[in-house]
Structure 1
Amino acid sequence: MSSEVAFTERVVAESPRYSGAVFTVLTSQVEVAPGRVESFEVVTKGADSVALLPVSDSGMVHLVEEYCPATARRQVGLPKGGIEAGEEPSQAAQRELAEELSLTGDLFRLATFDLQPGYLRQSTVVYLVRNLRPARGSGDERTNLITATMPFAEAVARARNGQFTDVRLVASLLLAEPMVMRSGKNER
């Protein structure tokens, strides 16, 4: 296997196979080598998303528990939502934070994740949120959200021992851990 890329793949055609309320499945024809075209199924949700890791000055992390239809169970995860047309990721982050937790705060861009780049066309921008303050907001959730607040160190421990399985939550907690612990504003 060569480390040099002699050819750059390109999409030559796309056509919808299924379109639902939440996502669309496309057939994507990709030229993978000169003169060789392969078909791939691609899922698109139409917009990228944001996710938030809000940590208070006292070291409490504010998460949400919600029903996840694909796993058929309730899971703890990050507050999150889609970026609406004309919105910057930071604006969507503040809107989602207010809608889901009735909070606002200072945003620090933590990471951008492509959850399944082999077939899902959606990126999620994740923000660490500090200096939390109350805000007005009303949710638009399709499922019942329950706030799950706990010490940051406990959330990290749950991520490490497999109690949390949402990849955005686990990765965000582990990425933010040095920053949160270094700030000295945390409960251990």
Structure 2
Amino acid sequence: MRVSGPGLHGKCSTLAVMSDTPGSTAVLYDGHIVKLELQDGKWEIVRHRDAVSVLVLDGEGRMLCVRQPRRAIGTDTVEAPAGLIDDGETPEQAARRELQEEAGLDGDMRLLTRYYSSPGFSDEQIYLYHATNLRESRLPMDDDEQIEVEWLQPRAVLEGLRDGTMTGSATTVTAALYALQVQA
């Protein structure tokens, strides 16, 4: 039995009655950004679009961060520029686009690492890039984005991570990699 109705962004979602047959996968929800599956009748798996995050440092060693409201947690966050990879884009193209949209910058991109944001239940990978040789290059922001650019000293970013005022896995990994590079 299936029940359909409006999903995220007007897309159709599908709810399915679960099966506990070994090897079975039931799609519980299929939206614009995520798909929720039930495997073997007991494992909830979130299929999520992959994302990118970009580490940017200016000539004074400050880290580019963006402040923006995040509905899922009900507050503003300060984080590294980041976003989802669109259909047909490579991770590098997405990193370049996000940096242009959120900060009006472009540069040479180098992949630092990629990691799973929450591998216990989601397949989302985040590709972390370092942008250098920066130049102005602006793309329009998405209609739903309200972003303020902030240049922060790395020490302030690390303190924000320690005291909980800065959150988000991409920002945490970005700052940690930066700190490791400085100490290496």
Query: TM-score, normalised on structure 2?
Result: 0.79
**Residue 96 of structure 2 aligns to a residue in which SS?**
helix
Give, in whole Å, the separation in 1 of the partners of 2:83 and 2:75.
19
Of the three residues 125, 130, 133, the one matched with 1:131 is 133
Instruction: Give percent identity, aligned residues only.
Output: 26
Give, in whole Å, the separation in 2 of the partners of 1:106 and 1:180.
20
Of the three residues 120, 123, 133, the one matched with 1:121 is 123
> In the superposition, relative to structure 1, how do residues 97 and 69 fare at CA in structure 2: closer, same or farther (>3 Å)?
same
Give the aligned length: 163
TM-superposed CA distance for 1:181, in Å, is 6.9
Q: Tell me which residue corresponds to 1:7.
A: none
Q: Tell me which residue corresponds to 1:20.
A: 31
The two structures, once aligned, show a CA RMSD in angstroms of 2.1
Q: Tell me which residue corresponds to 1:8.
A: none
Give, in whole Å, the separation in 1 of the partners of 2:112 and 2:25.
33
**Residue 120 of structure 1 aligns to a residue in which SS?**
coil
Q: Tell me which residue corresponds to 1:40.
A: 43
Written as runs of structure 1 = structure 2, the 5 A alignment for 1:1-188 is 12-29=23-40, 39-45=42-48, 47-140=49-142, 142-180=144-182
TM-superposed CA distance for 1:18, in Å, is 1.8
Give, in whole Å, the separation in 1 of the partners of 2:32 and 2:111.
30
Give, in whole Å, the separation in 2 of the partners of 1:78 and 1:141.
20
Ranges in structure 2 where 5+ consecutive residues have no aligned partner: 1-21
TM-superposed CA distance for 1:180, in Å, is 5.0
TM-superposed CA distance for 1:125, in Å, is 0.4
TM-superposed CA distance for 1:20, in Å, is 3.2
Give, in whole Å, the separation in 1 of the partners of 2:108 and 2:73.
32
Which aligned runs of 4 or more in structure 1 are off by greater than 4 angstroms? none
